[in-house]
Each structure stands twice: as C-alpha cells, then as structure tokens.
Amino acid sequence: MQTRFSEAQLADPDIRDSEAILRACVHCGFCTATCPTYTLLGDELDSPRGRIYLIKEMLENGRPATEREVRHIDRCLSCMSCMTTCPSGVHYGHLVDHARVWIEKTYNRPLPDRLIRALLAWLTARPAMFRLATGLGRLAKPLAGLLPARMAAMVRMSPASLPAASAIDRPQTVAAQGTRRLRVAMLSGCVQPVLSPQINEATARLLTRHGCEVVVARGAGCCGALSHHLGKEDPAKTMARANIDAWMAEIEGAGLDAIVINASGCGVVVKDYGHMFREDPAYAAKAARVAALARDPTELLEELGLMAPVRPMDLSVAYHPACPLQHGQRVREAPKALLRAAGFEVREIADAHLCCGSAGIYNILQPKIAGELGARKAANIDKLGVAVVATGNIGCITQLNALADAPVVHTLELLDWATGGPKPVGLN
C-alpha cells in the first residue's frame, strides 16, 4: 500500500511503525474471509482491510478521529484472525492498537461512553473492587431489563455466586514436587482470581507436579491488557512496568526459566512488552527480556512432557482455541495434544478460527455483536454433543458458560484432574 507521510510525521516512532505495517498490505482481501465482524455484518469498513484504509487516512492527515472511524474501529475484536490469514505478514494488531491510542487522544467520546470505559479500565485492574462490583451486579440482575444495553450486559454477566479468594494468589514460592526442573513465575492476574481462582490453583498444582518451582512475585498484578486495548496507553504501561520490575527482581535474584500466563489474553500482551517499551530507554531491555520468558503453560508442559494420567478420562472435550492463543501467540496444537495425552477425546469446533465474542470487555462494549458471535459459537459447540468444553482464556469461559449446553472449564483444570488433581469445579 502506498503511503504519503511527511518526514516530520515519520520522526514519531509510532507513526513510523504504522507506516511500515500499512506498506506491507497488498489489498488482497484474504482477511475479510476470517474476520468475525465482516462475516457477521458484511460491511467492508468492518473488515481489517476497511479499517486499515480508515486508519491510514486518519494518520496520514494527522487529524482527530471522527465518529465514523471510531465506530468501525471500536467494532474490531482484536482477535487477530486476520494476522493468521494474511499472506503478507501485516501486523494488524499493532496498527489497530496505535489507532486506538490516537482515538483516545483526539476524539471526544459522548460522556456515557467515556464513563463506562473509564469504569471498566479501573475496576478490572483491581481485584478487590472488581469483586465488590460483581457482587453489586448480582443484586441488580432483576433490574437488568431497565438498564442501558452496556450496563445490562455487565449486570447479566455477574455470576450467581463468587468463590472465596485463593491463597495461591498471594506472593509466595511453591516448591516443586520431586527434583526441581524449572523455576517459573506465575501471573495471578486481576479478573480471573475473582471469577475462577481454581484456575491458578490448578496451574500451580500441575506445574509443581511436573517439577516446576512456582513463584507468585510480589508487586506483579494486572498485565494492562484491557487498558491497552481501550487505547489508554499510560495506565497500561504503568501496570506493565510494575510487572516487569517484579519479575526482573526474581530474574536477578534466584532466576527464572519462564513466566507463565494462563489467561491467553494476558499472555499475548506480556509477550508484546518488548514492542510496547521499544522506545523507552529505561525499560526497553528489561521488557524484551521479560517478553522472551513469557509462555503459555501448555507450551511449557509440551516441552516437559505430560505425565501419564492417573485415572481414565473417557470424556469427550470440545476444544475452543481462544483467539489470543491461536492467533496472537500462535499456540495451536499443544493444548489439543496435551488433552489427548491426558486421555480425553478431543473434538474440534467447526468455526474454531472465529472469535466467540468475548474479547476482553468487548461483550460489554458491543453486546449485540458479541451476543450474536457467542450464540453462533455455542450452537457449533452444542452440535458436537460433548461432555465439556476446554479453553485457555477466562473471557471465553465466562462468555461460553452462559451460552453453551456443556460446562466450560480451563484446559489446565482438565490436565490437572487427569494427572492427580481434583475434579474441575465446573464439572461438579
């Protein structure tokens, strides 16, 4: 794609990187076939190619975003399916992230929109406040029909009950069982410990059972993903710096072989910390080092080799590959191979490459589109007639548990169960 940025514009590293991404696009349109919003809405501007044109025109002219650009870019799920499809290697993810920062800086959103975005960014990064808000949402469920669409979506997603906070999410070191093979840090996260603390518990058990010493580093918290995808650059970087500092203290102390992130939406952002801080002289090297150590737990378990299951697992499992894992981190076969090695019968979903509509907080900000995508995904799952659905992201678990017939649990919960852990809570 031909571009017309001035030399002054290209002095900005973000513009320079976006210009290189734009130039890589050859207008082929392969991305339209795998874009969830385009397949649903049929609007060229709701495809990656259409959004690329909008972003190019906005950035080249150096002008504030308009309602038209904001509407179509807001509808993007950041599922990165287009990046898997693109034959030219266009890094659409970095381009749309830049566009969102530009929108945040130049577009004056309506007050209700500003308020709900600010509220979501603030709440989701603070587990204690998120727990309180979720409890209040549960009480407000009878009034959901009287609320605006976005508030109603938030209220309806509140679970019927919340599990107690888990001790595994406090700073600590959990010893490996038997001979120590690796020393790894585990990111507890922010939303997941509130909604499903059993996922971190299963992760720690599974890793220690396979010879990993597991560290929950003091000072590590929210990865910044949700703020990052809202275009809120400064808060996202503040949270990322806290994680980098916490993990670097472990690296420079007793050392780390890996940093495991069991929520794939968080994992894809942590793996991108090097890009996020590429122009920050104080953090560039540290961020790149942390990013290089970031792993999805299934990557690590595949390398270590899954131990033999301790009980027969004659259950059929539909594997739902979360978008940040399959498209963002390019981890596609390891989860399925591990589930099969654990004795499960793995069945693949017909539209496995398409997003379920969760996409972080997309199902709150775009409830109609998210609902339609989720219903389509759930219908394809239900056709398989499986006993359980496995996936690697808390957002997908929350979205699909409300729509699919079969219970939805984290892949690691099933692997933990097969190798000696308790039965997943969701199957009780």
pLDDT tens per residue, range 266-303? 999 999 999 999 999 999 999 999 999 999 999 999 99
pTM of the model: 0.95
Q: 95 with 73: CB under 8 angstroms?
A: no
Which of 65, 91, 106 is where one domain is finished?
106
**pLDDT for residue 225:** 95
Name beta bridge partners: 409: 390
- Expressed as residue numbers, the domain containing 138 is 111-156
Query: Among candidates 367, 291, 290, which has minimal Cα distance to 329?
Result: 291
What's the total number of domains in the chain? 4
Residues 39, 65: one domain? yes
Q: Is residue 88 part of a domain?
A: yes
Name beta bridge partners: 216: 172
Residues 83, 127: one domain? no
Query: Among candidates 74, 75, 94, which has minimal Cα distance to 83?
Result: 94
Q: What is the mean pLDDT of the chain?
A: 95
**pLDDT for residue 160:** 81
> Can you tell me the distance from the alpha carbon of 240 to that of 225, in angstroms, rounded to the nearest whole number?
9
Res. 141: pLDDT tops 90? no
> Can you tell me the distance from the alpha carbon of 120 to that of 420, in angstroms, rounded to the nearest whole number?
38
pLDDT band at 335 (very low <50, low <70, confident <90, very high): very high
Higher pLDDT, 254 or 157: 254
Residues 98, 119: one domain? no
**pLDDT for residue 374:** 97
Q: What is the pLDDT of residues 357-389, one digit of tens each?
A: 999 999 999 999 999 999 999 999 999 999 999
Q: Which two tokens stand for residue 310?
A: 């301790």
> Can you tell me the distance from the alpha carbon of 309 to that of 168, in angstroms, rounded to the nearest whole number?
24
Coil vs helix vs strand at 191: coil
Spell out the alpha helix ranges (H) of 210-296: 225-229, 233-252, 264-270, 273-276, 284-293
Q: Is residue 416 part of a domain?
A: yes
Res. 140: pLDDT tops 90? no
Res. 118: pLDDT tops 90? yes
**pLDDT for residue 148:** 83
**pLDDT for residue 394:** 96
DSSP conformation class of 161: S
Q: Is residue 122 part of a domain?
A: yes
**pLDDT for residue 136:** 86
Q: What is the pLDDT of residues 152-186, one digit of tens each?
A: 888 888 888 889 999 999 999 999 999 999 999 99
Residues 121, 66: one domain? no
pLDDT band at 143 (very low <50, low <70, confident <90, very high): confident
User: Hey, CA dihedral for 122, 123, 124, 125, is it positive or negative?
Assistant: positive
Residues 313, 422: one domain? yes
Residues 410, 327: one domain? yes
Q: 265 with 324: CB under 8 angstroms?
A: yes
The phi and psi torsions of 384 (rounded to 5 degrees) equal -80, -20
Residues 49, 151: one domain? no
